[in-house]
Structure 1
Amino acid sequence: MRRSSTYLVALGSNRRHHRYGAPGGVVRAAMEELAAFGTVTARSPVIATPAMGAARRRFANAVLVLESERDPPALLAALKRTEREFGRRPGQRWGDRVLDLDIVLWSGGAWVSKILTIPHPGFARRRFVLAPACTVAPDWRTPPHGLTLAHHQARLT
């Protein structure tokens, strides 16, 4: 039997969905869908955040903690498939999107491959990830220095 791992997954949306409505509804629906990949043990509140980069609309962001038997590449493939099922299309970096799903952290520590880097390279500079993450996992220690998510968030202020 494959050993279970814990993941911190970030969710974001800034476009309406024909079934789930406004971005907050999209994020909440995606949280439900991700339970198909394991056990969701914690969900942050959905927060509204300003647009970034080329995006023109405000985002709804959240994180969840997922226990899964999938290894990081398998979980990434499942997340990308879910994005497509929600209507995500390839487009401009930082542009508007129906759904964005990212693996931020993994209980196995660091993972580096051609398709995936864990911890997510930009998480420590992203208030829209750290604020909700600190509501569900403030004491999660991050490689390589062992800082907690709460420490990373404090560094942003």
Structure 2
Amino acid sequence: MRGYLSSTYLIALGSNRRHCLYGRPRQIVRAAMEELAALGTVIARSPIIATAPMGAAQRRFANAAAVLDSEYDPPALLAALKRMERQFGRRPGRRWGDRVLDLDIVLWSGGNWEGRGLTIPHPEFRGRAFVLGPSRAIAPGWRDPISNLSLAHLNARLTSPRTLLR
């Protein structure tokens, strides 16, 4: 449902399958970033990075993040993102399998959200460099409402080399 107040969202984008119209995963992610403008105002777009496959996926991913101001509430935005995935050719499949487009709400300016089929912050984003890297590039100071750590801090925790204690 569209409301009167605007909210800000951090959206993660990913692709690892070609599309007959859009081309390779990098071009799909770029096109999806442009399509997000139909849902509000895109404030920032991260660089697109290449990442290793995860889970059942077989191919490398193109990943990115975008900051979106939108009048949609979280469930309405999720429904719109799922429609966009289908418009790009995503079909139901196994978890973490290959996909033309994956769009996830990672953070929301309203803090936490718990509803049917949607949890914000995204429950697994803190352990995913392919989400934190692009997100940190465009919103380093945005704080996780659960840990109160910034995206820059979460990314550093995840990616910094650790020394072994003896």
TM-score range, shorter-chain basis?
over 0.9
In structure 1, C-alpha distance between the alignment counterparts of 2:104 and 2:147, rounded to whole Å: 21
Tell me the equivalent position of 2:156.
154
Look up the match of 1:125: 127
Q: How does 1:73-152 map to 2 (within 5 A)?
A: 73-152=75-154
Q: Which whole-Å CA distance do the structure 1 matches of 2:40 and 2:76 have between them?
A: 12
Unmatched segments (≥5 aa) in structure 2 = 161-166
The number of residue pairs the alignment matches comes to 157
- The CA distance in 2 between the partners of 1:114 and 1:79, in whole Å, is 15
Percent identity of equivalent pairs: 71
CA distance in 1, matches of 2:81, 2:116: 17
Runs ≥4 residues deviating over 3 A = none
Report the equivalent of 2:65. 63
> Does residue 43 of the first structure (1) align with residue 63 of the second (2)?
no
In the alignment, the residues of structure 2 paired with residue 145 and residue 127 of structure 1 have an alpha-carbon distance, to the nearest angstrom, of: 17
Larger radius of gyration between Structure 1 and Structure 2: 2
Letter of the structure 1 residue corresponding to residue 127 of structure 2: R
**3-state SS of paired residue (1:89):** coil
What is the TM-score when the length of structure 2 is the normalising length?
0.93
